[in-house]
Amino acid sequence: MTSDNRPETQNEPEALCHNSNIPLWLVLLDNIPTAVLMVFGALIITRLSTWGMIGYLIYSLVSIIWFWAKICPYCHHYGTLACPCGYGVISAKLFKKRDAGLFKQTFKRNIGIMFPVWFVPAAAAIFLLISTYSRDLMLLTAVFSVTGFIIIPIISKAVGCRNCEIKDDCPWMQKKGSAAHG
Ligand code: SF4
């Protein structure tokens, strides 16, 4: 069923997804910046605390597994090669498929798990820049910020999501659309 409770037909997302095959370069393009973000986030936090850095890396890993468990099983790309970052395939190996009609609300309810991966290192960087400024720290902060707040959103919206068959059903793309119109 679709999110508005209509039965799916051959021309609707579920069928289209199984015919799509995202190229490897796009999967890498989606995942490498995320890995860079986490490494630079850890490098920033370790200046405050080694245990904090270890906690950040564990949290980052858990947040991705949470995404596979709580969001991907509701997605039309679950278990298909149409998922732009490959999570849909991994999720299908670990977690059971859920009702795709509930994707919107489950996405909104669970996407917050990812926010600390961005905002905890950003807060640590601001604190450190104020308290113990150095050029190295400034460089780490610049790479982290450009990757997390410019490169990842651009890749996600301009490449990964732009041609997605289910973008009209995705809260992430709807937010962009309403911002553009609003
Ligand atoms: S498109 Fe997003 S929600 Fe859907 S399977 Fe891929 S990572 Fe998960």
What separation in angstroms does the CA of 3 have from each of 143, 166, 174? 39, 11, 14
All residues at 6 or more sequence positions from 8 whose CB lies less than 8 Å from its CB, including other chains: 1, 2, 14, 15
Q: Is 6 exposed, middle or buried (0-12, 13-18, 19+ CB in 10 A)?
A: exposed
Confidence band of 157 (pLDDT split at 50, 70, 90): confident
Average pLDDT over residues 153-181: 65
Domain range annotation of the chain: 25-158
pTM here is: 0.82
Residue 87 Cβ inside 6 Å of ligand 1? The answer reads yes
* Dihedral of the alpha carbons of 15, 12, 97, 171, in degrees to the nearest 10: 140
Confidence band of 10 (pLDDT split at 50, 70, 90): very low
In whole angstroms, what is the distance from residue 121 CA to residue 43 CA?
Answer: 9
Phi, then psi, of 132 in degrees rounded to 5:
-140, 65
Residue 45 Cβ inside 6 Å of ligand 1? The answer reads no
DSSP annotation string for 92-114 = HHHS----GGGHHHHHHHHGGGG
- The pLDDT tens digits of the residues spanning 15-55 come to 444 456 788 888 899 899 999 999 999 999 999 999 999 99
- The pLDDT tens digits of the residues spanning 76-125 come to 899 998 888 899 999 999 999 999 999 999 999 999 999 999 999 999 99
Average pLDDT over residues 64-82: 94
Ligand 1 centre to CA of 134 (Å) is 39
Average pLDDT over residues 45-71: 98
48: tokens are 């405050």
Give the angle 53-57-62 at the CA atoms, nearest 5°: 145
Helices (H) and strands (E) in the chain, counts: 9, 0
Out of 34, 67, 72, 159, give the residue to mutate to test ligand 1, the one with the largest number of ligand atoms within 8 Å of its CB.
Answer: 72
